[in-house]
Amino acid sequence: MGLLTAVTWTIAALIGIYLLHRWLSAGGLRRQEAKVTRFPVTLLLSHPALAAASLACWVAYLLTGRAPLAWLALCGLTVAALLGFTMFTRWLGGGRHQRRATGFPVLAVILHGVAGVTTFALLLVTAGIARVF
């Protein structure tokens, strides 16, 4: 199950890279409209950075079996998930999901979220089975 967790995590990361690419190619920060729903740069950078660092910790845990690495992966993924949820609610609040003109892939956003939640659940279950926590 640890490997399955890494696979779902990688799928979420690949979809996230796709979303970031689409956002940047559409103008990125320069094209953000309402100040209330604007994505701060720290949010945009910390969400993927924490998720990637946590994935690295999880892979290191799978290779070594050292419990502190699993703890780091769980903590990092928790914070990354909260940041992702923040971005998702701002995206919904700004009505970006309803605008077809920008062509932003709503399905990709949903799949990224589902993959992230699945990864988090698998991480908890796998860590519990391994008696890491």
Res 101: pLDDT: 47
The predicted model scores a pTM of 0.82
Inter-axis angle of helices 2-25 and 106-129, nearest 10? 160
Res 105: pLDDT: 84
Average the pLDDT over 108-117 and give the result: 94
Q: Are 78 and 87 in contact (CB under 8 A)?
A: no
Q: Is a pLDDT exceeding 60 seen at residue 32? A: no
pLDDT band at 73 (very low <50, low <70, confident <90, very high): very high
Question: What is the average pLDDT score of the chain?
Answer: 84
d(CA 112, CA 13): 8
Q: Token digits for 111?
A: 């799949």
Instruction: Pick 93 or 31 by higher pLDDT.
Output: 93
Q: Token digits for 8?
A: 């779902």
* Continuous segment of H or E residues that includes residue 18: helix 2-25
User: CA end-to-end span of the chain, whole Å?
Assistant: 16
Q: Are 21 and 65 in contact (CB under 8 A)?
A: no
Mind listing the pLDDT tens digit for each residue in 88-100? 888 787 665 555 5
d(CA 123, CA 27): 35
Q: Which residue's entry shows tokens 């940041």?
A: 83
Q: Is a pLDDT exceeding 90 seen at residue 63? A: yes
pLDDT band at 76 (very low <50, low <70, confident <90, very high): very high
Instruction: Pick 128 or 79 by higher pLDDT.
Output: 79
